[in-house]
Homo-oligomer: A and B are copies of this chain.
Amino acid sequence: MMRSKVLSLVARAASNRMMSTATKLTTVEVNDKTGIATLTMNRPPVNGLNLELLQDLKSSIDEVEGNKSRGLILTSSSSTIFSAGLDILEMYKPDKDRIRAFWTQLQETWLALYGSSVPTAAAINGHSPAGGCLLATSCEYRVMVPNFTIGLNETQLGIVAPKWFMASFLSVLPQREAERALNQGRMFTTEEALKVGLIDETANSKEEAIEKCVAFIGTFAKVNPLARSLTKQQFRAADLQQLQNERQQDLEKFLFFVNQPAVQKGLGIYLEGLKKKAKKQ
């Protein structure tokens, strides 16, 4: 029994669900019983984080902030990929204006998710590399389905994960583990991620993962929402403020790095590989 709390609704026949919009790359559904919103990324095939998906993610997070939901669960409509991370096409031979808008939007989306006033949890129902792992570690709780991988593998791609990726990672892992994994660009299996604390629980299906996220958010049932929100802010303020203070430099650093011939070449080779892979299938 789901109920949408946004104004423009698209009723779907033979379904108890209502989507906030049909054209967006994300959907928000609020469960009537629990009051918890499920935010689903839906940009096939791999939820590549391009400008539009990041914009929709941000507006969906804002929507959940505004509709008095008791919590937010982030998940994917794909059965194998949570999110493959930043869309390489945004970074390869980029348009000057669009790449600025892209990175600025990524900053905005992270600030909104990491700093969200409502309880957040990720139901990780597929692979979650790089930007996918950033989204997951920006939530307060992580439940993951087996046989997938998660991690910040930027160094494997020749990229440097910026400070705020590092901050999200450090909020869940000890410094020694975090530095080593980021240096290695290490991808953790579901089991390894559980052992090291990168995720909190495993679940055998997306449905069970969402149930466990609901249970986590349920632990706040008797908590004053304002006091809770201010407490969370206090823990995350330094990380959020650091990006706020350095947004421009962070953008310039990214642009400088992504425009290096070696990085462009690497991205090109990577894209060629993907194309060949696609043809073979």
Taking the full assembly, how many copies of this chain does it contain?
Answer: 3
Among A92-100, A103-111, A163-171, the stretch in contact with B: A163-171
Interface string of A103-126 (1 = CB under 8 A from B): 000000000000000010000000
Interface string of A158-186 (1 = CB under 8 A from B): 11110100100011101110111011111
Q: A184-B220, A220-B184 are in contact. Are A166 and B234 (CB under 8 A)?
A: yes
Cβ contact within 8 Å between A223 and B170: no
Among A41-49, A149-157, A204-212, the stretch in contact with B: A149-157
Contacts of A236 in B (CB 8 A): 179
Q: A159-B227, A227-B155, A231-B160 are in contact. Are A140 and B220 (CB under 8 A)?
A: no
Contacts of A172 in B (CB 8 A): 175-176
Q: Is A9 positioned at the interface, with any CB of B under 8 Å from its CB?
A: no
Task: Give the B-binding residues of A (Cβ under 8 A).
Answer: 119, 140-141, 154-161, 163, 166, 170-172, 174-176, 178-180, 182-186, 197, 219-220, 222-224, 226-228, 230-232, 234-236, 266
